[in-house]
Structure 1
């Protein structure tokens, strides 16, 4: 299917990163089963919520920093390096696709990226080291050095609108694909879970590689269960 495809989209979820040691937040035992998520509204309204959100982010990003791209991440990057027309749409916020060498202009991080902060007003980027230093120095949540606005991790929080530009690009990429690969996503988080449906309506073949069943398994042209790294290691070696 990869050999025959002219335009490939890989849609990745938590399952590709669990094999790098990053926990799936939504699964039993994951973070959201142990801690109540801090919503966007709570973050904006409460200094206490902001400080707790940043405390969690620092812990989370220590896990991200220790993780390394696995064979699944590396195989997708190797397909691009081999000259294939491939793009990635990811639900993950860990930055592992970037660290695998995949270029930003072919990557959409639908839910953002937890490895840096961003001003909610002017969108100025703020590195985590600067965020931590600001909190340590003042005891208060960080403010934008440009406009003074609130700085939040550059992720889509519960209750926060999805970035329209990123979602519009993801829809366009999905419509143009002739192979759409779902890799490690349960396909239950909306609106991202509509993307394989859009690709299918546009005529794409659909391959699903996931540990557990998904709502679209019956629509797939190819359904693979097992280790994502092992499956894509073979693809990378043969590609």
Structure 2
């Protein structure tokens, strides 16, 4: 690893990590825009992730729920990158993860739920769009209904994820911006940084004086703002970055 990078990040005490789909691909979860990504292989699949289509068309909802029931994330386990961020927190470094992922793998790796902001929601709970009811998604999937109605009011159910056309939760986004602004080191890991407003957290961090390090296979719109850009394998390089922060060996 670049000595200048190691010198720059060693001893960082407040770290924010913006994580995207790329951090979970080593866990067997496909990304969206890569060569084997969900949108790349099935461009029409995006229709099922559009809020307007989801709410208006039962056929779209059936397609969505069928795909959701078989999603690889249900079987996935945290990989070395997830575990390294959790271990860095265990080492006493103030770590906050701002994730675009809905898989819950950061928490399963050992990070406390309060230290993970799920910008785009979570796949593990499902809410009714007509009443305040919420349910574990596994319970909804177990019902084996291809367009499951709310068990309480019969309304349309939607997993607690942000679909295209929906706004991010303003409180969560505001909290994320505060964390980005307070960080000394901002890691953008496995994100194409093409989805706003999450990607703009990089700008918030840099303008507040943080060192921005981007770890991603492909170029991003924010590469020019970064102090360092790494194209290395995420599962390999994130543990190295975390070890460099503490001056330790590999996790």
Q: Say whether the fold is shared (TM-score over 0.5).
A: yes
Q: Which residue of 1 aligns with 2:207?
A: 201
| Cα distance in structure 2, aligned partners of 1:140 and 1:65 | 19
Match of 2:39 among 21, 24, 32: 32
CA shift, 1:32, in A, is 2.0
Q: Which residue of 1 aligns with 2:139?
A: 130
CA shift, 1:135, in A, is 4.3
**Are 2:198 and 1:212 equivalent residues in the alignment?**
no
CA shift, 1:130, in A, is 2.1
- CA RMSD across the alignment: 1.9
User: Structure 1 residues 40 and 30 mapped into 2: Cα distance closer, same or farther (>3 Å)?
Assistant: same
Query: Which of structure 1's runs of 4+ aligned residues deviate more than 4 A?
Result: none
Q: TM-score, normalised by structure 2?
A: 0.86
**Are 2:64 and 1:53 equivalent residues in the alignment?**
yes
8 Å CA contact retained: 2:192, 2:220: yes
**Are 2:197 and 1:191 equivalent residues in the alignment?**
yes
| Cα distance in structure 2, aligned partners of 1:158 and 1:225 | 28
| Cα distance in structure 2, aligned partners of 1:194 and 1:90 | 13
Give deviations 1:27-59, integer Å, cap 9, x for gaps: 244222313322211222222222222111111
| Cα distance in structure 2, aligned partners of 1:120 and 1:85 | 36
CA shift, 1:101, in A, is 1.1
Give deviations 1:66-107, integer Å, cap 9, x for gaps: 221111100000010111101000111111111111111111
Q: Which residue of 2 aligns with 1:77?
A: 86
Unaligned runs of 5+ in 1: none
8 Å CA contact retained: 1:13, 1:183: yes
Q: Which residue of 2 aligns with 1:114?
A: 123
User: Structure 1 residues 211 and 152 mapped into 2: Cα distance closer, same or farther (>3 Å)?
Assistant: same
CA shift, 1:229, in A, is 1.1
User: How many residues are matched?
Assistant: 234
